[in-house]
Chains A and B, each alone.
With several copies, the nearest count.
Chain A
Amino acid sequence: MSTLHTVNKSPFQNQTLISCLGHAKAGDSVLMIEDGVYGAMSGNAMSEVVAGLGANIKLFVLGADVAARGIDAGRVAEGVTSVNYEEFVGMAASCDRVQNWL
Chain B
Amino acid sequence: MKFGIVVSEGPYTHQASDSAYNFVKAALATGHEVSRVFFYHDGVNVGTRLSIPPQDDRQIQEQWTALAKEHELDLVICIAAAQRRGLLDQNEADRQGKDANNIAEGFRISGLGQLIEMGIQADRTITFGD
**Bound complex: CA of A90 vs CA of B32, how far in Å?**
10
Taking a contact as CB atoms under 8 Å apart, the answer to whether A88 and B26 are in contact is yes
Which residue of chain B is the closest to A90 with respect to CB atoms? B30
**Size category of the binding interface on chain A:** 10 to 19
Contact with A along B102-130 (1 / 0, CB 8 A): 00000000000000000000011111111
Taking a contact as CB atoms under 8 Å apart, the answer to whether B127 and A100 are in contact is yes
Q: Which residues does chain A contribute within 8 Å of B129, judged by CB atoms?
A: 100, 102
Number of A-B contacts (CB under 8 A): 49
Query: How many B residues, CB 8 Å from partner?
Result: 22
Taking a contact as CB atoms under 8 Å apart, the answer to whether B32 and A100 are in contact is no
Q: Does residue A29 face the partner (Cβ distance < 8 Å to B)?
A: no
Q: Which residues does chain A contribute within 8 Å of B22, judged by CB atoms?
A: 64, 85
Q: SS class of chain B's interface: helix, strand, loop or mixed? A: mixed
**Bound complex: CA of A12 vs CA of B129, how far in Å?**
19
Q: Which residues does chain B contribute within 8 Å of A100, judged by CB atoms?
A: 126-129
Q: Which of A64, A84, A98 contacts B126 (CB 8 A)?
A: A98
**Bound complex: CA of A85 vs CA of B3, how far in Å?**
14
Q: Which 6 A-B pairs have the closest CB atoms?
A: A85-B26, A100-B127, A102-B129, A89-B27, A34-B15, A93-B1
Where the two chains meet, the residues of A that have a C-beta atom closer than 8 Å to any C-beta of B are: 6, 8, 33-35, 64, 84-86, 88-90, 92-93, 95, 97-98, 100, 102
